[in-house]
Structure 1
Amino acid sequence: MQLASVGVMRPALANPAISQPALSQGGTPILPVSISSGLSCVPFARMATGMNISGDARMWWHNAAGAYARGNMPERGSVLAFTASGGMSRGHVAVVSRVVNARTIHIDHANWAGPGIRRGAVMRGVVVIDVSDRNDWTAVRVQVGHNDDAFGRTYSTHGFIYNRPARGGERMMEARIRGFEEVAEGAPSPHVAQHLRRTAELFAE
């Protein structure tokens, strides 16, 4: 899908009268992915995070329920899950590589076409801005091509899937249109231990 370049101003922070979630400075490391082309977004997200979530990108949010924590606050190493739309019927997933501020993040992802970018290419450090009314990241615009001052149309998202298990004692808060509600919890993901081992190896190198 080729996107037209649309210059936009970066959004200001949301209305201070509306309660805003605190920015997370934590998160999890992103695993190295040596492949730079010929990938769709799902296998790239799996390789970069170690997450074991099945299905097309449009199914990740629902399939992660009970295995991975989910919410509407960005953190490094989490996966931003886009909803399916007319021009993106299979949805999209992208890995958060940096949280810049309450309205801006950088993502690493694959198979997002644009000016000078081929289908299947891996792009890193792509700017995404939150344009939702309540700063809950349910509506975003993504950098077009290599120009970090131009953004495409508004896309709807479910939120962020965190690279940690959803389990008792770790209650996540998910921003909604009418405030916050608790996300259901379930059994830990069997893939978490593998990711933690790989993370420890990376820090030891």
Structure 2
Amino acid sequence: MAFSAAFCLSVVSLSFMSVVPAQARAHHGARNSHFQGVHSFHSHGFFGRTRIHRHYGILQCVAFVKQNSAFNIRGNARDWWPSAAGRFARGAQPEVGSVLAFRGTRRMPLGHVSLVSGVVDNRTILVDHSHWASAGISRNVKVVDVSPNNDWSAVRVALGDRTERLGSIYPTHGFIYSRTPGAQPAHRMVVLARGLQGMQTASLPPSMEVFDDDAPNRSLR
């Protein structure tokens, strides 16, 4: 009788010990899961002054734009253009401080957003963004308009190497401005021409059939 009771107690104890680790693993997995490629991050203090803790070491482009501007648009990058309607002015001409909104493509289905840091000429701008060709933050990256009508509906982004080569063609919606619809710009566009004497020119292929992708395969931009 005593032997049976001791045996039953041992079985229960072993069962409990096997269940607890499994529950702990399940709880840990749930806390560290990410929705459709979203890499969560935790920041402390002001951006650029203190450390930013990121899962996988990547700060998504949407989070970067929000941290460095007054835009409070929600959703993935591809949702910013329609979400800005009625709240922010939108257009086809670049302005410093505006957001260049990329359309979703095969390799970046949720789009991409970049902050315009400089306007060089009517076909060339500089942008700051995160999670493009590299897994980090890039500043003053050259972007060239290759659309037939100079409406910035198709662009090429510099690859970031010393040759200043441009990447594939990407479709864009246009620019989102940090003012209400109908309001005038607070200042003139700033023209930056530093070190661009040997700027590579770009042209749009005649076919306009398919937009190639050289950005990383990612889900949240």
TM-score normalised to structure 1 length: 0.61
Q: Which residue of 1 aligns with 2:166?
A: 151
Q: 2:148 aligns with which of 130, 133, 138?
A: 133
Choose between structure 1 and 2: higher helix proportion: 2
Identity between Structure 1 and Structure 2 (%)? 48
Q: Which has the higher strand share?
A: 1
Give me the whole-angstrom Cα distance separating, in 2, the residues matched to 1:100 and 1:171. 21
Q: Deviation at 1:50?
A: 1.6
Q: CA deviation at 1:38?
A: 2.6
Misfit runs of 4+, over 2 Å: 35-38, 145-149, 169-172
Q: Distance in 2 between matches of 1:147 and 1:104?
A: 18
- Measured after TM superposition, the shift of residue 147 of structure 1 is 3.5
Q: For the structure 1 residues 88 and 147, does the alpha-carbon distance in structure 2 shift closer, same or farther, using more than 3 Å as the test?
A: farther
Q: Who is 2:80 aligned against?
A: 60
Q: Which of these residues, 96, 100, 110, is aligned with residue 80 of structure 1?
A: 100
Please tell me the residue identity of whatever aligns with 1:68: F
Matched, 1:96 2:109: no
Amino acid at match of 2:183: E
Secondary structure of the structure 1 residue equivalent to 2:126 = strand
Give the partner amino acid of 1:60.
W
Higher RCO structure (Cα 8 Å, ≥6 apart): 1
Aligned mate of 1:70, from 87, 90, 103: 90
Q: Contact (CA 8 Å) 1:104, 1:129: kept in 2 or not?
A: yes
Partner of 2:183: 170
The farther-off stretch of 71-80 and 142-151 is: 142-151
SS in 1 for 2:177: strand
Matched, 1:44 2:59: no
Q: Structure 1 residue 170: deviation in Å? A: 3.1
3-state DSSP of counterpart to 1:49: coil
How many angstroms does 1:148 deviate by? 5.8
TM-score, reference length from structure 2:
0.57
**For residues 69 and 111 of structure 1, do their structure 2 counterparts lie closer, same or farther at Cα, with a shift above 3 Å needed?**
same
Amino acid across the alignment from 1:127: K
- The one-letter amino acid of 2:109's match is S
SS of 1:156 mapped into structure 2: strand
Equivalent in the alignment of 1:26: none
Distance 2:86 2:113 in 1: 19
In 2, the alpha carbon distance for the partners of 1:105 and 1:54 equals 25
Count residues with an aligned counterpart. 134
Distance 2:158 2:80 in 1: 22
Cα drift, residue 171 of structure 1: 7.7
CA radius of gyration, larger in: 2
Three-state SS of the structure 1 residue aligned to 2:97 is coil
Measured against aligned partners, the alpha-carbon deviations of 1:4-49 in whole angstroms (never above 9, x if no partner) come to: xxxxxxxxxxxxxxxxxxxxxxxxxxxx841686310001011111
Deviations 1:123-175 (A, max 9, x none): 00000000000100000000003336201110000000001112xx5389xxx
Q: Mark the runs of 5 or more structure 1 residues left unpaired by the alignment.
A: 1-31, 173-205
